[in-house]
Amino acid sequence: MRKSSWLLLLPLLLLSGCSLAGFAYDLLPRLAVRQADSYLQLSKRQEARALELFRERHALHARDELPRYYALLRKAERAASDGITREEIDAVLDEVEFLYKLAIERTLPAVAEILAGLDDAQLDLLEKRLRADAEKDRKRLDEDHRARRMEKTLEEIEEWTGKLEEPQRAMIIVALEEMHETRPMFLEWRIDNSERFIEFMRRRPKPVEIEKMLAGYWLERANMPEELYAKLQDNANRYREMLIALDGNATEAQRRHALEKLSSFADIVLDIMPRETRAAIIEDREGTGKARE
């Protein structure tokens, strides 16, 4: 998994600024089917089954995972309100990791069933698409990865803090320069996994076998070189320390900007929950507030 922070990898970033967030969220099962169809050219029967599977997954997500996202956002908001400690950021990031894994685990059965039902022509198309993606990764191997990472990270942080002051920017640049450059090794690992998956699918595995294979890649980092894994872990720890240092130097305007953004996301998540779930959370929140009074 890519480096994460409560600033950068909260689950609903794609809804940022979207006044039709609820409408977009409701469309996710159809969008998922459309994406699968563009990649695999599903038959009408396969489309119907995929839509059924993704709707079931979407209902579970709305009922069970959205409340967890909401609680996480509120936890992050409380932690950031008066300065983040290492314990607080660890707790938030552990929850982010848990929710990421939960989402993958609950989605894998649907993906595995769809892949297990592909015919020979669809497997040929899948192989062609995966090899095309791998070729794009090979071309990326020669990019200036450090400059790309530097620019992207600064942009993402400023999305949450507003414009950084020069000492803050300099501190972040120094911290990023001290981190390991892992992207080339990561791309090579992803290319190798694509080849393994193509060979694996040609053996016509059962859904449970596909699910296990994908879980190994997405959750357990199967076949990842030990050197790459160690560098990713070290970078994650360095990144946390950088965020704590940045938080310690945040201006009141920057902290207010971040808190408003977190609160906005929490409101969006609450708004797109099923009515009964939302009502229960609001009732509990109001009851807690009265108890404190």
Average pLDDT along the chain, 293 residues, taken 10 residues at a time: 32 38 79 89 96 93 92 92 87 88 92 96 95 95 92 93 96 96 96 96 97 94 96 94 92 94 91 91 73 52
| Structure-block tokens of residue 260 | 């408003």
| Nearest 10 degrees: Cα torsion 110, 52, 62, 91 | 0
Q: What is the DSSP code string of 99-149?
A: HHHHHHHHHHHHHHHHHHT--HHHHHHHHHHHHHHHHHHHHHTTS-HHHHH
Distance CA 282, CA 286 (A): 6
Q: Which residue, chain included where needed, has tokens 């408003």?
A: 260
**Which pLDDT value is given to residue 21?**
60
Give 38-45 contacts, CB < 8 A, sequence gap 24+. 39/125, 39/126, 39/129, 40/114, 40/118, 40/122, 40/125, 40/126, 41/121, 41/122, 41/125, 42/114, 42/122
Q: How far is CA 282 from CA 5, 199, 273, in A?
A: 27, 50, 11
Distance CA 83, CA 216 (A): 37
For residues 277 and 67, is the Cβ–Cβ distance under 8 A?
yes
**Which pLDDT value is given to residue 56?**
94
